[in-house]
Amino acid sequence: MAKARTQFVCQNCGTVHSRWVGKCEGCGEWNTVVEEDPMGGIGAGPGRVPKKGRPVALTTLSGETEEAPRIHTGIAELDRATGGGFVRGSAVLIGGDPGIGKSTLLMQSAAALSRMGHRVIYVSGEEAVAQVRLRAQRLGAAETDVLLAAETNVEDILATVGEGRRPDLVIIDSIQTLWSDTAEAAPGTVTQVRTGVQAMIRFAKQTGAAMVLVGHVTKEGQIAGPRVVEHMVDAVLYFEGDRGHHYRILRTVKNRFGPTDEIGVFEMSDIGLREVSNPSELFLGERNAKAPGAAVFAGMEGTRPVLVEVQALVAPTSLGTARRAVVGWDSPRLSMILAVLEAHCGVRLGSHDVYLNVAGGYRISEPAADLAVASALVSSLAGLALPADCVYFGEVSLSGAVRPVAHTAQRLKEAEKLGFSQAVLPAGAADLPKGGGGRWTEIEGLPDLVARIAGSRGALGKSDEDV
Ligand code: TYD
Ligand code: MG
């Protein structure tokens, strides 16, 4: 019989090495490679005992499904992010930094589903029963029929949830605490986490229960992160937010049963998470419209428009090299906008520090924010405030052209709803609504924008040779 070989697995990215190495070739992290037994675990690798295959019954694509395939939680922001509720028989991974509010969100969902008569089992591997109860009391969930267990052993959990009436929803909090007798690796390693998750997914598929798995995102790579199980689950949601701010965003990064560009927005309060159905009001909450360097971006998150303020500060540098700092946006993208401003608009920023911030700790991922960023930068440099009732959106290309983006009508509608009567947008948008009445300024290139904001070149402090 062949000698059982061990393998060396990176705890950060899951790359398998044939020998121990100090630096993982997959992700470049140091000291993340741990020796593990590949044969251990439920369903791991080719089994030790060769077994003859058993034919499974083939079926057709059409057929009766007797119950609603989705379980609506009634928490609109959560249902929006999952694409209409949890899917029966599926596994959802909810990742996020420790302390961001994953357990809170799931306890609230569990309570909501339990109130609707669903059988919900909450398995806590991190907190004792008393602690979970305390949180439930605070969230007003203590009087519901949510079934609670504090357990970390995979086999015990499976035996528990498999007993009695089939649960509609099982919550495992968290996957990092799971450990199985069958996997020969220390708890918290990739092998243990994978084994546990695999067993939970199998339970979901076999019984039709919806499975929600919580995973902490760890930057150090000490404990196997949710990334190593992302490919195994049906949907991956990340719960994000800034510790300094109260609101939290549930972002879909993978969904086999729905769209992936939706977000759910919540606000953390002292009685748990509160839904925020109009995020724009939240992000524009503390706006000082008179200050230079602030531009309101009319963005889109999935099917929902979101208005958010982009703030720029441009100041002469006191150091040899100018500083560039970005919060809430892409740093290379800022460099690109600065280069385009310099090359095509004659705006010299080489000897200026540039700071860019997206208000409220929000993170923008759309290229459509280019125009708002450029406006904020020019406004700050010129020392001239932008009109308070104007929104900006459009993608900037390297040639300095401003290109149309999708959902023009929806962005403008949201802006109007929130009292913005003007907009600066790319020329030639296909779905520009008729009857703008001159309130919408269509621009073709970045130089037009600079001319509009700064007006005379004096405002940008340019000398005649610069132009
Ligand atoms: P928690 O759900 O335990 O985070 P996670 O499971 O992601 O680690 O949330 C922890 C934080 O949320 C904690 O810092 C306190 C805060 N919190 C509130 O502000 N209000 C509340 O009602 C609850 C339950 C928690
Ligand atoms: Mg928790």
Q: Which ligand has the nearest atom to the CA of 105?
A: 1
Answer whether residue 49 is part of any domain: no
Which of the 8 DSSP states describes residue 187?
A: T
Please give the number of the atom of ligand 1 that sits closest to the Cα of 173. 6
267 and 221 belong to one structural domain: yes
Answer whether residue 114 is part of any domain: yes
287 and 409 belong to one structural domain: yes
CB 100 near ligand 1, within 6 Å:
yes
Among 277, 310, 331, the domain boundary falls at 277
Average pLDDT, the chain: 86
- What is the domain count for the chain? 3
Q: Which residue has the tokens 């390693």?
A: 189
Q: Which ligand has the nearest atom to the CA of 95?
A: 1
273 and 291 belong to one structural domain: no
Going by alpha carbons, the residue nearest to atom 14 of ligand 1 is 99
CB 101 near ligand 1, within 6 Å:
yes
The rounded distance, in Å, linking the Cα atoms of 360 and 282 is 8
Among 238, 262, 277, the domain boundary falls at 277
Which of the 8 DSSP states describes residue 158?
A: H
Give the three-class secondary structure for 26.
Answer: coil
| β partners of residue 312 | 356
311 and 432 belong to one structural domain: yes
Quote the domain boundaries for residue 376.
Answer: 282-466
325 and 376 belong to one structural domain: yes
122 and 23 belong to one structural domain: no
Which of the 8 DSSP states describes residue 387?
A: P
The torsion defined by the Cα of 382, 385, 390 and 394, in degrees rounded to 10, comes to: 30
248 and 296 belong to one structural domain: no
C-beta neighbour count of 434 within 10 angstroms: 5
CB 138 near ligand 1, within 6 Å:
yes
CB 271 near ligand 1, within 6 Å:
yes
Q: Which residue has the tokens 């499974």?
A: 56
Answer whether residue 65 is part of any domain: no
Answer whether residue 43 is part of any domain: no
Answer whether residue 51 is part of any domain: no
For 241-276, give the DSSP string: E-TTSSEEEEEEEEETTS-SS-EEEEEEETTEEEE-
290 and 258 belong to one structural domain: no
In sequence order, what are the residues at sequence separation of 6 or more whose Cβ sits closer than 8 angstroms to the Cβ of residue 266?
A: 77, 101, 105, 247, 248, 249, 250, 273, 274, 275, 276
Q: How far is CA 301 from CA 7, 124, 213, 304, 305, in A?
A: 42, 32, 25, 5, 6
Is the separation of the CB atoms in 360 and 283 below 8 Å?
yes
CB 270 near ligand 1, within 6 Å:
yes
315 and 272 belong to one structural domain: no
* pLDDT above 90 (res 221): no
Residue 448 sits in a domain of what CATH number?
3.30.230.10
467 pLDDT band (50/70/90 cuts)?
very low
324 and 305 belong to one structural domain: yes
Q: What is the pTM of this model?
A: 0.76
Answer whether residue 335 is part of any domain: yes
Read off the tokens for 69.
Answer: 């395939």
Going by alpha carbons, the residue nearest to atom 20 of ligand 1 is 270
* pLDDT above 80 (res 209): yes
Which of the 8 DSSP states describes residue 168?
A: S
192 and 220 belong to one structural domain: yes
Query: pLDDT tens, 143-197?
Result: 999 999 999 999 999 999 999 899 999 999 989 999 998 888 888 788 899 999 9
The rounded distance, in Å, linking the Cα atoms of 163 and 171 is 16
202 and 158 belong to one structural domain: yes
Q: Which residue has the higher pLDDT, 110 or 285?
A: 110
Among 249, 277, 305, the domain boundary falls at 277
